[in-house]
Chains A and B, each alone.
Chain A
Amino acid sequence: MPEDSDWEAYKVPPTRTPVSERTTSVPNPVAFFQTVFNYVIDAPVTFVREWIERQQAKNKYYYYHQKFRRVPDLSECLEGDYLCFFEAEAQWRRDRMVDQEIVEIVRERLGACKQREGPNQFQNCAKEAELLAQVTKAYQDRYGDLGVHGNARTCLMKQKHRMMEERKAQANASQ
């Protein structure tokens, strides 16, 4: 079964093809192929699909996205409190997965925009491109070079180093 896809997320603007007036009396062959496709392929497939959906509508049930409670961060854990470390680590991993999905969604939006605009993509997709650049830079700053064994502790150390660099840069700039 394919993934849930939301057609409304990537809104394609309506086509602006002008209506052409007929100048010949020869019927459009495309209409013939369209009716053939309709009767041979479209109608049976739609019928089967709707029959299946009627069977499935008899017992409807739902699934949810799990919401996790926020627990104290790794920076709020006392030293030696291994339970706090464990919960903070689990929360950090979930947050990293969420951030990965966010980057993926922004990338897909840019891809959809490029597909939609075609030759105008460099002008019309500037906002999406800018958003993707910012999001990937932020992701790289936070989770970037931690490696495959990166955990909450290494990420916290990286954040500490970033803050030190920032402070040094500010001190150098103010001199």
Chain B
Amino acid sequence: MAAMSLLLRAAAAWGARRAASGAAGGFRLPWLAGAARLPGTVAPVRHSSGHGKRMFIIKATSFYDTRFLNLLRFYIFLTGIPVALFITYVNIFIGESELAEIPEGYIPDYWEYYKHPISRWIARYFLDPPEKNYEKEMALLDVEAKKTEMRLMELEARRLMRHRGDGPWYHYETPDKNLIDNSMKSTPDN
């Protein structure tokens, strides 16, 4: 960018010098009618009416930026517009439900506790009833509570059987006492 502006300035200076030498030599280039100027300066020059001199304006590229914004808009609107139209249709023609007291003896289904029709639809066809979730959590807690209780009872039983020695656990195999050879203790003079 800096090199570009330096190049521009060098080109302008060269053009000015050429125009100045041309003016001194007498032959005027038709498009520099007037004194030699830097590009962009105003001079009384005859051009096509209304538009002014056509300039080749040098600026940084906006190709990538516009391409990105175009693609962004395209992909957002690709699904955004159908979804917005669908939601508008639902809101206008189906409408939200009204709050009412629960009639006597009637148990509403779990999706009838929502107001917006799309929330009701999602709750009805995709989500589980909250009672099911509640029962699942309680079942998990129940299983874990029973496991805890079993483990504590097992530890207590182990402790007691080891201590008292009268239970089926903590039996260590010892050889039969009839196999012991008592011959070396049998006479007092061995």
Chain A residues in the interface with B (C-beta under 8 A): 1, 4, 52-53, 55-56, 59-67, 80, 82-83, 86-87, 90
Contact = CB atoms under 8 A, between A and B. Distances in A.
A60 B91 contact: no
B95 A65 contact: no
A59 B94 contact: yes
A80 B114 CA distance: 36
A4 B96 CA distance: 11
A137 to B, nearest CB: 31
B112 A62 contact: yes
A56 B145 CA distance: 51
By secondary structure, the B interface counts as helix
B98 A63 contact: yes
A129 to B, nearest CB: 30
21 contacts: A60-B98, A61-B97, A61-B98, A62-B97, A62-B98, A62-B100, A62-B112, A63-B97, A63-B98, A63-B100, A63-B113, A64-B100, A65-B99, A65-B113, A66-B108, A80-B149, A82-B142, A82-B145, A83-B138, A86-B137, A90-B134
Interface in B67-105: 91-102
A44 B138 CA distance: 56
A56 B112 contact: no
A1 B115 CA distance: 11
B92 to A, nearest CB: 5
Interface residues of B, number: 27
Given A4-B99, A59-B94, A82-B142, A64 B137 contact: no
Contacts of B134: 90
B33 to A, nearest CB: 58
A86 B96 contact: no
A66 to B, nearest CB: 5
Given A53-B95, A59-B94, A63-B100, 13 more contacts: A55-B92, A61-B98, A62-B98, A63-B112, A64-B102, A65-B99, A65-B102, A65-B113, A66-B108, A66-B113, A83-B141, A86-B138, A86-B141
A64 B102 CA distance: 6
Contact of A64 (B112, B116, B141): B112
Contact of B93 (A56, A64, A67): A56
Given A4-B99, A55-B93, A63 B142 contact: no
B114 A67 contact: no
A83 B149 CA distance: 14
